[in-house]
């Protein structure tokens, strides 16, 4: 976990020191947000849309965290004293390692959650399909009677439509013949 790094030998003016401390507080804040997102992803039980939403949120938080670490690095590069620059860049290096660790944790959490959701969906699908097969193999008389009735109605409707079409064709031929 990212910890607030004290600047031990920082000799630059108080304004730069307060910038460094402010950036570190922001880094800590966004690191906690990323970790919270990773935990939410680990606990996500579906559906996949929810997992994707959590993943996007975590990615946005990671981008913000990286941007702040980049800002701290830029501030370190701007330092006149070599010792101040090295101290800030050393801290940046630690933050970058933690950022990489967060990225790895995010990928693993996302993968594990996707696998769990896929496994559960597969089990549900197999359970539903086996129930459906049992129902089909045991048709009842009522269902057969309803199906036969619907087929008879459909055939009657087709027969009426054909008769209407024949009458219309006869009428058209009679009109053309006159």
Residues 6+ apart with CB under 8 A from 51: 41, 44, 110, 113, 114, 117
* CA distance linking residue 155 with residue 1, whole number of Å: 72
Q: Please spell the DSSP secondary structure of 112-154, one letter per residue.
A: HHHHHHHHHHHHHHHHHHHHHHHHHHS--HHHHHHHHHHHHHH
We find that the CATH architecture of domain 14-136 is Up-down Bundle (1.20)
Tens digits of residue pLDDT in 156-168: 888 999 998 998 8
C-beta of residue 70 within 8 angstroms of C-beta of residue 104: no
Tens digits of residue pLDDT in 3-42: 555 554 455 556 788 899 999 999 999 999 999 999 999 9
pTM of the model as a whole: 0.63
* CA distance linking residue 30 with residue 58, whole number of Å: 10
Distance spanning both ends of the chain, measured CA to CA: 95
């Amino acid at each position: 976990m990212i910890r607030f790094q004290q600047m031990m030998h920082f000799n630059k003016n108080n304004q730069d020191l307060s910038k460094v401390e402010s950036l570190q507080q922001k880094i800590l804040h966004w690191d906690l947000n990323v970790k919270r997102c990773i935990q939410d992803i680990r606990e996500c039980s579906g559906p996949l849309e929810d997992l994707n939403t959590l993943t996007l949120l975590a990615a946005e938080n990671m981008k913000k965290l990286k941007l702040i670490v980049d800002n701290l690095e830029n501030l370190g590069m701007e330092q006149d004293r070599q010792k101040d620059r090295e101290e800030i860049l050393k801290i940046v290096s630690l933050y970058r390692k933690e950022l990489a660790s967060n990225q790895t944790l995010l990928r693993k959490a996302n993968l594990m959650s996707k696998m769990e959701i896929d496994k559960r969906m597969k089990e549900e699908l197999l359970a539903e399909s086996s129930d459906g097969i049992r129902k089909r193999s045991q048709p009842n008389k009522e269902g057969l009677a309803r199906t036969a009735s619907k087929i008879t109605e459909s055939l009657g409707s087709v027969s009426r439509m054909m008769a209407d079409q024949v009458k219309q064709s006869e009428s058209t031929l009679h009109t053309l013949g006159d």
